[in-house]
Structure 1
Amino acid sequence: MHFDLADLRLFIHIAESPSLTQGAKRAFLSPAAASARIKALESQLGSRLLYRDNRGVDLTPAGQRLLQHARLIMRQVEYLKNEFTAYGADAAGHIRIFANTTAVTEFLPEVLAGFLAQRPGVTVDLQERLSRDIVRGVLDGSSDLGIIAGPVNASGLQVLHFSTDRLVLAVPRNHPLSTLKHVKLKDTLRYQHVGLHEGSTLLSFLREQVEHLGETLSLRIQVSSFEAVCRMVETGVGIGVIPESAAKRHSRTMDLTIIELDEEWAIRERSMLVRDLDALPGCVRALIDTLLPASGAEPPSNTPT
């Protein structure tokens, strides 16, 4: 069975577009030519790949499987090209990272700034995603590297632990909870919270924990960063659950009280997720090596989960 890379690239474009016409346009083909190529691909595989109607296209189950493999194949082709650029094996390439809120807003910007300054041929696409989407993205090849907090349950991935953080409660100085050293999440729910924006991994995680308690999370305001959460808390707008690393940093310049959350889930293991560390291009492996010393973690064991 022979696969044409151009056909696989066309199929990806169509699968990621609202219609065959739009996918064909991205591949610089006419709709008729694109349709003929897809029909030939379906004939070769002996499976229907697309459902087509006036609203656009949807993937069949066979199409979903092909999309996963096609993404992986095309990403490996890009890896191969990058390995032989003039910059060197680890100084060129494109890295797509799916990461949780803490990584995107707290430590990755600083790490990436230094990393990219030393590698002018590397580009990065950093996207904030929910935990389940991070896992799925690494599994299906749409992301080179995933960064996640908490337990990981994903067969077929390598999990590289690189640091540990804790969720804590930030309150204003004279808040009724400010004299406590430890507090249960349930005891915070009588007060209004300051939360992150919709779609953030931390907000989704907290809502899950609150639902397990049979309670509701009262959000007075939602903001886009941990610094903004702390600003709101400092002025008495509400209280907020944030990572301890962020709380300690912002408490140096803000009038906050930090209280430990007396919950098992409050301790969060940070991990990097990859499909196969040895198969990654040099630039991705170099970024992983950069993140490990930055966190003070030990080198990964590279054991698939």
Structure 2
Amino acid sequence: MHFDLADLRLFIHIAEAPSLTQGARRAFLSPAAASARIKALEGQLGSRLLYRDNRGVELTPAGQRLLQHARLIMRQVDYLKSEFTDYGAEAAGHIRIFANTTAVTEFLPEVLAGFLADRPGVTVDLQERLSRDIVRGVLDGSTDLGIIAGPVQAPGLQVLHFSTDRLVLAVPVGHELAARERVKLHDTLAFQHIGLHEGSTLLSFLRERVEHLGEQLSLRIQVSSFEAVCRMIEAGVGIGIIPESAARRHSRTMRLAVVELDEPWAVRERSILVRELEALPGSIRALIATLRQEPDPAR
């Protein structure tokens, strides 16, 4: 059985579009030519890969399996290309990262700024994702590496610890909880919270913990960054649970009180997820080494 790499890349484009016309455009083919290639691929595999209708395409179970393998194959091809460039193994290539909210907003921008400044041939696609999507993305090859906090259920992946993340309660100075040394999550639920945007990893995590208590999280407003959360808290709009690194930093310029959360899940280990470290190209291994050598942002 012979696979044409161009056909596999075309199939990925169509699956991610998800439209044959849009996928063909990304592959610089006409829809008719793309359709003929997909039909030939289906004939070679002896399986239907796509359901087609006027709304677009949907992958069949066989198509889902092929997509997973095709992504891994094409990513390895890209790794091979990046290893043989004029820049050298560590100085070129494209890196896709799926990461949680804290990583995307708190420490990765600074880490990546220094890393990319030293490597003009490297490009990065950084996407904020939920924990389960981060694990799935690394497993199916849709991302090179994942950055996650908390317990990890990821059989088949390498889990590389690199720092510790602590969640704390931030309240306005003078708030009735400000005098407490530590609080339980339940103690905070009588007050309105300031939350991050829908789809953020931290908000999803907190909702799960609140639901576990049989309660509901009362959100007064949702904002897009920890700085915005802290500004709302300083103004007396509500209280919020955020990473200690963000709370301590913003408390230096805002009137905030930081209270320890007395919960076993408040301290979360940060980890990098990869399929196989030694199989990654030099640029990705160099980024992982940089992350693991960085001082802990929570300290």
Report the TM-score, using the length of structure 2 for normalisation.
0.97
| Equivalent residue number for residue 227 of structure 2 | 227
Q: Secondary structure at the match of 1:151?
A: coil
CA distance in structure 2 between the aligned counterparts of 1:295 and 1:80, rounded to whole angstroms: 32
Q: Which residue of 1 aligns with 2:267?
A: 267
Letter in 1 for 2:271: S
Once the two structures are superposed, the pairs formed by residues 111-126 of structure 1 within 5 Å of their partners are: 111-126=111-126
* 3-state SS in 2 of match to 1:3: coil
Between stretches 283-292 and 35-44, larger displacement belongs to 35-44
Q: Deviations over 1:28-64 (max 9, x none)?
A: 2222221121111111111111111222111000000
Match in the other structure for 2:185: 185
Q: Report the Cα offset of residue 244 of structure 1.
A: 0.9
Within 5 Å, give how 1:286-305 maps onto structure 2.
Answer: 286-295=286-295
- Give CA deviations for 1:9-33 in whole Å, capped at 9, x if unaligned: 1111111123212212221222222
Residues 205-258 of structure 1: CA distance to partner in whole angstroms, max 9, x if unpaired? 000111111111111111111111111111111100001111111111111111
Tell me whether 1:55 sits opposite 2:40 in the alignment: no
Contact 1:162 1:295 (C-alpha < 8 Å) held by counterparts: no
Alignment-mate amino acid for residue 136 of structure 1: R
- The aligned counterpart of 2:244 is 244
The 5 A counterparts of 1:1-305 are 1-295=1-295
2:27 alignment partner AA: A
- The residue identity in structure 1 corresponding to 2:26 is R
Residues 170 and 233, structure 2, Cα contact 8 Å, conserved in 1: yes
Q: C-alpha separation between the residues in 1 aligned to 2:263 and 2:179?
A: 18
Tell me how large the CA RMSD over aligned residues is: 1.1
* Structure 2 contact 166–268 (Cα < 8 Å) conserved: yes
User: Contact conserved, 2:149 with 2:270, CA < 8 A, in 1?
Assistant: yes
Q: CA deviation at 1:193?
A: 0.6
The residue matched to 2:105 in structure 1 has which SS? Answer: helix
Residues in 2 aligned to 1:168 and 1:21: alpha-carbon distance in whole angstroms:
49
Amino acid at match of 2:116: L
Q: 1:65, CA displacement in angstroms? A: 0.5
Give unmatched runs, 5+ long, in structure 2. none
Q: Closer, same or farther in 2 for the Cα pair 1:195/1:296, shift >3 Å?
A: closer
Contact kept, 8 Å, 2:92 with 2:283, in 1: the verdict is yes
Take 1:78 and 1:194, find their aligned partners in 2: how far apart are those partners? 42
Q: Give me the identity figure in percent.
A: 84
1:137-192 Cα shifts (integer Å, max 9, x gaps): 11111110100000110111100000112110001111111110110111100101
Whether contact under 8 Å (2:104, 2:128) holds in the other structure is yes
Structure 1: gaps spanning 5 or more residues:
298-305
Q: When the two structures are aligned, how many residues end up with a matched partner?
A: 297
Give the direction of change, closer, same or farther, for the CA distance of 1:205–1:296 in structure 2 (3 Å limit). closer
Structure 2 residue matching 1:167: 3-state secondary structure? strand
Secondary structure in structure 1 of the residue aligned to 2:18? coil
Distance across 1 between alignment mates of 2:35 and 2:165: 51
**Take 1:55 and 1:292, find their aligned partners in 2: how far apart are those partners?**
45
> Runs of 4 or more off by more than 4 Å in structure 1?
none
Contact 2:162 2:272 in 1 (8 A): yes
Query: Which residue identity is paired with 1:37?
Result: R
3-state SS, counterpart of residue 75 of structure 2:
helix
8 Å contact from structure 2 (residues 164, 296) kept in 1: no
CA distance in structure 2 between the aligned counterparts of 1:190 and 1:131, rounded to whole angstroms: 28
